[in-house]
Structure 1
Amino acid sequence: MKRIVFLLGVLAILAASAPPAHAAVFTLTDLNSVFQIDSAFGADLWTVDGVSQLYEQGFWFRIGDDSAEQRLGNFYSNGWVDPGGRTATLQFVHNSFTADIVYTLTGGTIGSRTSDVAETIRIINTGGGSLPMRFFQYCDFDLNGTPGDDKLWFPNANTVRQVDLGSGAMVSETVVTPVATRYEGDIFANTRSRLEDDLPTTLSNLPAPGGFLTGDVTWAFQWDRTLPRNGTFIISKDKHLDVVPEPGTLLLLGLGLVGAEVTRRRRKKA
């Protein structure tokens, strides 16, 4: 329901910038986990022990600071899944750079409710001069299949954590290297709408250290790098899903909810 409503809301944008005709879907499987990537729109499925955990993860970029962001998937060129079924490589070609993204899924035993996806992104400047790259990752986890009851915070500059406060008690932790230039947590679909509009986006660095968001949360990282001619920029990311490890963690999260509540500026997902 949420996906249908949101897609109707951006139908005009999609019509104006249709994805490549050769867009493809890649599915990774390992033990208790399934991870799916749409070459045009990014990852849109991560099930662990049969329960959906992810609504969307996508990549956007901007060259310089005077134009709007573009979705990386609009420049998809080629992709494949390795014979083992756990690793996919997607390649993107722009007239100023190439980008390769390698995803590797590691599942847990059946019933363990744990899973991991490692990602490596390589951007190579293929233009004739320097490349002022602004690269964005946006992620919308709906932990335990329930979008409206999550808590999100940034423990440090390269880590984001999200916890499902309902009965599922799932926790996601994402670590990025190198440290991003900026970050942002927000309520669906504020950040995504800014990445899709006609203006350049600068992430807000909110919530500040010690702060958090609750509700239908999303997060994003932004890397600003100027690549010399033939230069390379590599980003490594690891996304880990698990059950909350101990009752004390849930207690601390519950106390945090009493202390603050972020006003929801958009409707809850259906």
Structure 2
Amino acid sequence: MRSPIHLVGLKHVVSRPGLGALLLSLALVQTKAQVMTDQNSTASVHPANQSGMFSWTVDGGNQLQQQWFWYALGPRGGSTPPASIDTLPLTQDAQPTPNTLNLGYQGNGFLLTIGYTLTGGAPGSGVSDIGESIRIQNQTGNTLPIIFYQYSDFDLNGAPGTDTITLSGPPRGGFNDAFQTHGPISMSETVVTPPANEGEAATEFSTLAKLNNGSAPVVLNNNATASGNVTWAFEWDLNIAPGGTVLISKDKNLQVPEPSALALVGLGILGLALRRGRFSK
């Protein structure tokens, strides 16, 4: 369900028709959810609250509850408590094309930008892809220790259920792949660079509660698998050089077979079983 639009700071001005209408228009632009569209797919992002990316539909079916980002300043294990990026001032919120979205946030000594590109498949194909480029620029003259988190809650098949999630990574350690399934439906995310230092597969809300604890540093527990109503998260422990920029590049893909295609597969298997049974008599 789309998050409501919030209006801030309009008291005492709406009685002035020109100024009130202008401020109302600006407020709507600055806080509304943005919807990317391409062929058989849509993806909705609310940049101003923890809803984040709260919908990803493929051929009319939504597969996502929430995917969003948190950050903490300081070294691993000794940082500030995490905060979601929507607590930072929003400096950019633009859709250059219907299937792209660019967001920018100004932190204390750093600039964070996120670029999304949605690539849908042909109608009825059941496939969709989202590429993401996340840049964190150190705007200070000192090394910036910063921790960046991604939290993901996919509800494959449109509802919480019996999903399985597996996190994996390169031989040198860390995590760069997430693979979640619900029957024949699958979601995969690949981190092109750099791999996350930590990961956490869990059941719904447990990781989210840690990220929102508000009082203590958070290090993900590196649990790599979970089943049921699952969520998963990645953590990057970064030290950005003075004036430097770190790029986190990743891609996620959905495969949602049509029910009719699944039915045909099922009928084929049933027919094969019947033929085998007949010949074995």
TM-score between the two structures when normalised by the length of structure 2: 0.75
Rg larger for? 2
Match in the other structure for 1:48: 58
Per-residue deviation, residues 196-224 of structure 1 (Å, max 9, x unmatched): 012111001112xxxx3110100111001
Match in the other structure for 2:23: none
User: Which amino acid counterpart does residue 216 of structure 1 have in structure 2?
Assistant: N
Match in the other structure for 1:161: 179
Aligned length: 222
Task: Please say if 1:95 is aligned against 2:108.
Answer: yes
CA contact (8 A) 2:58 2:256 kept: no
Match in the other structure for 2:152: 139
- 1:78 is displaced (CA, Å) by 1.8
Task: Please say if 1:200 is aligned against 2:238.
Answer: no
Q: Percent identity?
A: 38
Match in the other structure for 1:172: 187
User: Which amino acid counterpart does residue 173 of structure 1 have in structure 2?
Assistant: S
Task: Please say if 1:36 is aligned against 2:44.
Answer: yes
Match in the other structure for 1:62: 72
Match in the other structure for 2:253: 240
User: Which amino acid counterpart does residue 133 of structure 1 have in structure 2?
Assistant: I
State the SS of the aligned residue for 1:128: coil
What are structure 2's unaligned runs of at least 5 residues? 4-26, 170-174, 263-281
What are structure 1's unaligned runs of at least 5 residues? 5-20, 248-270
Task: Please say if 1:228 is aligned against 2:246.
Answer: no
User: Which amino acid counterpart does residue 33 of structure 1 have in structure 2?
Assistant: S
Pick one of 84, 87, 93 that aligns with 1:74: 87
Alpha-carbon separation, structure 2, partners of 1:23 and 1:135 = 23
- 1:34 is displaced (CA, Å) by 0.5
- 1:144 is displaced (CA, Å) by 1.3
Alpha-carbon separation, structure 2, partners of 1:135 and 1:141 = 20
- 1:24 is displaced (CA, Å) by 3.2
Alpha-carbon separation, structure 2, partners of 1:47 and 1:34 = 5
CA contact (8 A) 1:95 1:127 kept: no
CA contact (8 A) 1:138 1:220 kept: yes
State the SS of the aligned residue for 1:205: coil
Per-residue deviation, residues 47-105 of structure 1 (Å, max 9, x unmatched): 111101000001000011242001111112221001x3011100010121001100000
- 1:127 is displaced (CA, Å) by 2.3
State the SS of the aligned residue for 2:122: coil
Alpha-carbon separation, structure 1, partners of 2:204 and 2:227 = 11
State the SS of the aligned residue for 1:206: coil
RMSD: 2.1
The 1:236/1:66 distance shift into structure 2, 3 A limit, reads closer
State the SS of the aligned residue for 1:200: coil
Per-residue deviation, residues 155-209 of structure 1 (Å, max 9, x unmatched): 43310100013xxx210000012111111100000001100012111001112xx
User: Which amino acid counterpart does residue 207 of structure 2 have in structure 1?
Assistant: T
- 1:23 is displaced (CA, Å) by 2.7
Match in the other structure for 1:119: 132
